[in-house]
Homo-oligomer: A and B are copies of this chain.
Amino acid sequence: MQLRKRRERDRTQTFLIEGHQEIKQAISAHFPLQALFFSSHSIEDPDLIDIIEKASYCGAHLVEVTPLLFTKLSYLNHPCGLLAVGEQRHLSLKDAEKEFCPSPFILVVESIEKPGNLGAILRSADAAGIDALFLCDRCTDLYNPNVVRASMGALFSVPTIELSTDEAISWLNRKGVKIAATSPQATIQYTEADFQPATAIVMGAEHFGLSTSWMGSAHLCLRIPMHGIVDSLNVSAATVLLLYEVVRQRQTRS
């Protein structure tokens, strides 16, 4: 499958979706599907037939293949029998902001490298109910099959906007959204900040952390207490902690 390569995804503006859950969620979120490949074994399972019918109704071209060929198409160790080709969607900030709540809850990630981390971050972001994910100076392709997979379909539910660091900072400042960064040098713990007002949690790349542009623009610089020998958490672990601190504060004080 050529679509495993980023260049091909960029050129065709399409991507691969594998897994029942993921394909169902893509359909629910009205992501246009160009095609759905299914193994001839799949039509023995009523759940899969339901997904195939829905995909067809939404305009996907259906392609039945032998189980052997399906195994070759699949990028999973345990193929589930369905593989879709979806069309990429590029949301503009102007469109997305119409849906934001009055005190928006934004997550910004800068130059994340590993697809597994970006996928796990999307999954946590969906669970925490953020208004939008800003993907700044992207490094990993949002439509990499491993991002789709690790997100468990959250890629389809989290409004994600790709933009430059400068554009993001300028928009957040214009809208009065507090920018909260984390740093091992910070003195205030992340549980001591006030996340009731409009907030953007900002997370940097795995090895290099946040760029100086973001560190210089942060209104809050927060510390995650570290009681062992490692000096930082994995980026997706740090992200879920910060996101759920916002959730905790907003539900207990509201």
Using a CB–CB cutoff of 8 Å, the interface residues on chain A facing chain B are: 25, 28, 116, 120, 123-129, 150-154, 156-158, 191, 224-230, 232-234, 236-237, 240-241, 244, 247-248, 251-252
* Inter-chain contact B230/A126, CB cutoff 8 Å: yes
Give the interface SS of chain A, mostly helix, strand, loop or mixed: helix
- List 8 extra interface pairs beyond A127-B230, A237-B240, CB under 8 A: A126-B227, A127-B224, A127-B227, A127-B228, A127-B233, A150-B234, A157-B230, A240-B240
Least Cβ distance of A221 to chain B in Å? Answer: 19
* Inter-chain contact B237/A123, CB cutoff 8 Å: yes
**Which 5 pairs, one residue from A and one from B, show the smallest C-beta to C-beta distance?**
A129-B227, A126-B228, A237-B240, A157-B229, A120-B234
Q: Which residues of B contact A241 (CB under 8 A)?
A: 240-241, 244
Least Cβ distance of A186 to chain B in Å? Answer: 15
Least Cβ distance of A195 to chain B in Å? Answer: 14
| Bound Cα distance A136, B37 (Å) | 39
Q: Which residues of B contact A127 (CB under 8 A)?
A: 224-228, 230, 232-233
Number of copies of this kind of chain in the complex: 2
Q: Which residues of B contact A125 (CB under 8 A)?
A: 228
Least Cβ distance of A159 to chain B in Å? Answer: 11
| Bound Cα distance A85, B100 (Å) | 53
Q: Which residues of B contact A116 (CB under 8 A)?
A: 116
